[in-house]
Chain A
């Protein structure tokens, strides 16, 4: 096992992971065993939200937790930092970083965003940026990141410009066009664009964006810094941080990279002077020693999720083709399942396969009448509670794009709701069939969201 220490001797703890002998790929039964802790009665087609962690990695984590409980001082002085260094090195190797000093481990992408936004806020407060300088973000940027932008950079004086994105039916070209247009708007009147925040894979609706191209456009157009929020990306799509070329790149390792909840990395090029200006907001004794070290000690807490990255890498290597094989098969499967659902429901995929990783948006029959985020949430709850299907639902507001006609389903109803299905190694076809059949049942029963709205509930009582 790569990371969990076996012996008491410090040399063992600090030793490089032993070489792995070649072994047969993991079997179906092996996979089932690794995820036996999942509630077997649930059609769990939502890996995207909370991810998953195999039993072998959880076991490695438990070993670290027991080590801490047994003798926490020795853990702190002898084991923790070497363990975190090994995890950072594993991440650096997985994302094509120059070296581990470019990698910081934090709880999640939300924390990484706060680190960057706080830095930008200081830049405004200390006069490096002028009031009214622009920060660019996507309309579909994750809500927590939008709040972070508001809480830090808008509060400090930035002007925020949003990039509208077409949905459904985006194409890389359409995304690039919208981005260029928004960037031109941002720069209007000679404004400085201090930061562009670009999702690698948006969350809701989920679309894989051509980030490398967008980063290049930012460089051409003189954007100061680019932050790629790749929260969903690692384990879904290949990541080469140098190829993508952002200033800051973050991704969660607990979503698609088989780490426990929760751990993410933030990558910053080491030759960038800004690297030493970023600080973890929870200031500890490591303040000033660089973000990797600051993030490695933010007070007493359970760091075990951050210590098992090498174990997650080992897990993935048990699959044919490793993580590339896993993500490729997930992609193929989710498109196959998404197409099956779309055909069954008379709807369509929200974006073309080349703009999907291991997740796909599938239109729900328009007769369900989803007309708000509240409706979408209530339908999701009902699917969970009555059908044991776990899938997030997106309400596509009619007011998004000027002049775009709302897409219709085979019956001519406007498609306002989409499920976001995920495929991970533990998923089986039956789960998507359960989702298909649940929605069919609702349609046949004449269900519409108005029945679940609060006033509707009172009437039915």
Chain B
């Protein structure tokens, strides 16, 4: 049982009027969740939409939302009692649940923050202080992937580049054929970073890149970093927990973060940041929003960053309870999502005459599928406009990635008609998805192709022409 029986005592104390059930009463064993129950849990999703983009914003089942609402009501009823008697115990339970899920040594290694973007700011602010205070020298290197998430790239720029770091990017092939190709590029970039005896202070490695989405062999890359004398490794695993197995000790990074609201059924938004407790750096990390907990360790600092709604961080146990209603728990969910998304991806690729952007072993519950080249996606803006059109005209929600032709030395892959494939959809599969969602996407794209649609028709100059008609 994921929830602590002591929670009932704490909950009884916190509101003092006998309505003392904590949000997680003991569960009797029940049968595996049914399809109808899953539909009920996600009845708040707009049913008209083919929602094949769990990767961007995640999802949260009704039972977890109800638990969240319970915490929100406790706060509203008597906020001082909530603050003094309920909040910290609740956060600690959540941290303990996360620690267990990710194979941490101890609950003290886990901090809860809003999202991986916040975790990145924490790690990078620390690196900036190191430059500013002289423990790192101007010009020391920070390594990141070319496909690092946009916000993290900006954070690297805002903190460590500003403070004096040299930033080295690892180019990654896409479409990508194997983990070996990724490892080779990583080694090469690391060699460049170390040129002239430069110190590499931090490597920022995505566990699963966002766009294009590929599962990166992080364990091997972390090991390479250790061999090559990289000071610290930060694995940005925003997408990972609930998609791929996460064992932080096995992966061996210094800092590991993942969002719990993407694939772990928590409400928006909550993420964890893991740091090894025997690492002296643990008490040098600070939450950027400084409160009276400053200096009490990152878990405590993150547990109070001023008055705000912490309820999303208080329902991790309920999310685990939800997950355990499925055959095989989170492992079962993951493996079924993976099988389904590959099956659906192949179905789309066949229908469109294209291919998957990476082999199944480099996919979790998401996969990149090439779009017919005749659609003529030639920029990020084209991709966004096509996405908007799919949403508005076809009620299909799927992010589209524009693969620039400018990747060195690599010939642009072509579809069955011989057109270069420049656009990819990133499809996700989560427990609420059904085959029809992907068929609607398939048919929408087929329709566009048969109508002779090209992205040039949506570009602004074309719009002006059509408005003059």
Contact = CB atoms under 8 A, between A and B. Distances in A.
Contacts of A451: none
A39 B288 contact: no
The interface centre, meaning the residue of A72, A111, A122, A254 with most chain B CB atoms within 10 A of its CB, is A72
A384 B46 CA distance: 44
Contacts of A38: 76-78
Contacts of B73: 37
A114 B308 contact: no
A226 interface: no
Contact of A49 (B80, B162, B292): B80
Given A287-B154, A299-B116, A71 B80 contact: no
B317 interface: no
Contacts of A300: 56-58, 115, 259, 261, 268-269
A66 B115 contact: no
Contact of A110 (B60, B295, B305): B305
Interface string A61-77: 00000101111111011
B45 A261 contact: no
Contact of A301 (B114, B151, B388): B114
Contacts of A388: 16
A351 interface: no
Given A69-B60, A114-B290, A385-B16, A284 B117 contact: yes
B247 to A, nearest CB: 25
B140 interface: no
Given A69-B44, A302-B269, A114 B288 contact: yes
A299 B294 contact: no
A72 B56 contact: yes
Interface string A58-97: 1000000010111111101100000000000000000000
A409 B31 CA distance: 67
Contacts, number: 185
Contacts of B268: 68, 72, 300-302
A148 interface: yes
Interface string B206-247: 000000000000000000000000000000000000000000
B466 interface: no
A344 B132 CA distance: 57
B46 A70 contact: yes
Contact of A71 (B49, B60, B114): B49
Interface string A127-147: 000000000000000011001
Contacts of A110: 289-291, 305-307
B354 interface: no
A199 to B, nearest CB: 15
Contact of B17 (A39, A69, A283, A284): A39
A71 B117 contact: no
Q: Chain A, interface size: which category?
A: 35 or more
Nearest to B294: A147
B80 A302 contact: no
A73 B391 contact: yes
A143 B293 CA distance: 10
Contact of A53 (B76, B155, B388): B76
B15 interface: yes
Contacts of B295: 147
Contacts of B45: 69-71
Interface stretch (A21-29, A150-158, A182-190, A335-343): A150-158
Interface string A248-271: 000010100000111000000000
Given A70-B46, A300-B268, A107 B308 contact: yes
Contacts of A433: none
A295 interface: no
Interface string A373-409: 0000000010011001010000000000000000000
A317 interface: no
Interface string B389-424: 001000001000000000000000000000000000
B233 to A, nearest CB: 20
Contacts of B292: 143-144, 147
B289 A114 contact: yes
A72 B58 CA distance: 9
B159 interface: yes
Given A37-B76, A300-B269, 4 more contacts: A111-B305, A287-B157, A298-B114, A301-B268
Interface of A: 37-39, 41-42, 44, 46, 49-51, 53, 58, 66, 68-74, 76-77, 107-111, 113-114, 117-118, 122, 125, 143-144, 147-148, 150-152, 155-156, 252, 254, 260-262, 279, 281-285, 287-288, 298-302, 305, 381, 384-385, 388, 390
18 contacts: A37-B77, A42-B78, A72-B57, A76-B57, A107-B305, A109-B306, A111-B289, A147-B290, A281-B121, A282-B117, A282-B288, A283-B117, A283-B124, A283-B158, A300-B56, A301-B115, A302-B268, A384-B81
Interface of B: 15-17, 44-46, 49, 51, 53, 56-58, 60, 65, 73, 75-81, 83-84, 114-118, 120-121, 124-125, 129, 132, 150-151, 154-155, 157-159, 162-163, 259, 261, 267-269, 286, 288-292, 294-295, 305-309, 312, 388, 391, 397
